Amino acid sequence: MKELLLYSFRNCPFCQRARIALYESGKEFTIHEVNLPHKPQELLKLSPKGTVPVLLIDGKKVIDESIDIVIYALSGEDEILAKEEINQFTHDLKDTLMIAGRAFRMGNFTNNSFQLSIPFIEKLELKLANNAFLQGERISTLDSMIMPFASFLSEVKEMSSFPKTLNWLTNVKMSKSYKLAMDLKV
């Protein structure tokens, strides 16, 4: 069995996606919670850019991008998406949900913020047309990549127009891997 050490920061959505995927994979791993203003030297040696998450495998191999950690964790899936498709979906996420989510967390969420999110939510509705999750009937690579940025939507009243996405948000939030990743009671 491989020894996995994840350098993480609890409130970082990029770290949350890595933790969701690792928990969902069933792989055993250790979390090293990083104090961002005082990054440990061992983290900086592994990844000079000094960002988290960073996954150390068997004390040798380093993965320092959340998308690559998610793909590594869930690489046994039959329906794994090509990295390019994941990149496109998450690129669209940055231009919509990340901006709206930031406004929501800062208390500046308006109808305009929600309108910005609608094209992305419509993409989610299409992906969820026949499945409970974005790639099938269990949490997948894409669910892990998007959920930390989309979770705020379950608190937005205008979401009633998007029942499949609301159901998806509920399904992911009820999953053991999400609860473990977010440090909630299991």
Asked if 74 contacts 141 with a C-beta cutoff of 8 angstroms, the reply is: yes
The pair of structure tokens assigned to 154 is 């379950």
CATH 3.30.465.10 fits domain 83-179: no
- Angle in degrees, CA 171, 172, 174, rounded to 5: 65
The reported pLDDT for the residue numbered 35 is 95
For the chain, the residue count is 186
Amino acid at 42: E
- For position 141, what pLDDT does the model report? 83
The predicted pLDDT at position 118 comes to: 93
Regions of the chain where pLDDT drops below 50 = 77-80
| Superfamily of segment(s) 4-76 | Glutaredoxin (3.40.30.10)
Residues 6+ apart with CB under 8 A from 184: 178
Q: How far is CA 12 from the centre of its chain?
A: 10
Q: Which two tokens stand for residue 117?
A: 């999110």
Show the tokens assigned to 45.
Answer: 């040696």
* Delimiting residues of CATH 3.40.30.10 domain(s) in the chain: 4-76
pTM of the predicted structure, to 2 decimals: 0.84
Q: Token pair for residue 74?
A: 């869930």
What is residue 78's predicted lDDT score, i.e. its pLDDT? Answer: 38
Residues of the chain with CATH 1.20.1050.10: 83-179
